[in-house]
Each structure stands twice: as structure tokens, then as C-alpha cells.
Amino acid sequence: MTEYLLIRLYGPLASWGEIAVGESRHSAVHPSRSAMLGLLGAALGIQRDDDAGQQALIKGYRFGIKLECAGSPLRDYHTVQVGVLPRKFQFRSRRQELMADKVDTILSTREYRCDSVALVAVEALASAPVDLSSLADALRRPHFQLYLGRKSHCQPTPG
């Protein structure tokens, strides 16, 4: 019989990012596979630039997601610094953009979901970097701060 780890995801504000190009950052109504992989990776302490660790996560787990409550949408406004492109040039990273000779500020919108609830079943495959019991322990005592989407509304848990 297949074993699953059940995770209930609830937050006053969550954002399940979609394609983020330009000034509008939209949110899906439910967590994506990449959001779940990011959450597990943060709990386990896998760095974003650790390609081998990231690949192990991708190949090691499957997810089933049940949206229990979509929550209500919320739009937030931010000011964001953007680099001004020199002629015939393209920025290759956010870091490179902010190091440009000239930087402007634009108004940006972010979408969130208020009071959304999702139930996630995690299945560990044979190639999983850790078993479900160790994964549950990591989620209880995460290596990195866990948040549901965007860090800008992350509130650290009391310590």
C-alpha cells in the first residue's frame, strides 16, 4: 500500500505564482508542483543553486492537491526598481538589472489569496532524497523559513 504525507496549507495570505513578467504578478488559486518542491526544499535546507539537490527533489516526489477553499483575492501594490536598458542590450539577471547605470522605479501589483486552504498528499518515490517520516520532521523544524508564496508578506513564527 502506498504511503502519503498529508500537508494542510493555510495562511492568511498566500500566493501561488504564475508567470511573472512585467509589472503584474498573478497568483493561481492552488499551489503548483514547483511551489511544493520549493517548500520541501526549504524545509530540508536545499539551496536554490544546488542543482543536484533540486533534481533529487524533482525526481523524488509526486503530489496530489485538493483545494478546500480558494480564498478571496487581494491585490497589493509595490514600488519596484528596474534597470533602464542601454541601447541594444538585454539584462540576463535581476542582479545585472539593478547594477545598471540608470535605475527607475515602477508601480507593480502582486496578487494574493486570503484564507485559502489546500490539502497536499506527498508520495515519496524510490529515488526520493529522504523518506516521508524525515520529510515530516523537516517540515516541523525547517532549515529555512517557510512561506506560502511571496516573502514580502512572510511573518516569522515566534521562536
> 40 and 52 in contact (C-beta within 8 Å)?
no
Distance, CA of 68 to CA of 30 (rounded, Å): 9
Confidence (pLDDT) at 154: 52
Q: What is the pLDDT of residue 157?
A: 47
What's the Cα-to-Cα distance from 108 to each of 49, 78, 87, 90, rounded to whole Å?
27, 5, 24, 21
Question: What is the pTM (predicted TM-score) of this model?
Answer: 0.74
- pLDDT tens for each residue of the chain, 159 residues long: 789 999 999 988 888 877 666 666 777 788 889 889 999 999 999 998 999 999 999 999 999 999 999 888 888 777 777 777 777 777 777 777 777 777 778 777 778 888 889 999 999 999 999 999 999 999 999 999 888 876 655 554 444
Angstrom CA distances, 7 to 24, 66, 69, 99, 140, stand at 29, 11, 15, 40, 11
User: Which residue from 17, 43, 40, 15 is spatially nearest to 157, judged by alpha carbons?
Assistant: 43
Residue 37, phi then psi, degrees to nearest 5: -65, -40
CATH architecture observed for domain 5-152: 2-Layer Sandwich (3.30)
pLDDT for 75: 83
What gap in Å lies between CA 39 and CA 58, rounded to an integer?
12
Q: What is the pLDDT of residue 21?
A: 60
The domain ranges of the chain are: 5-152
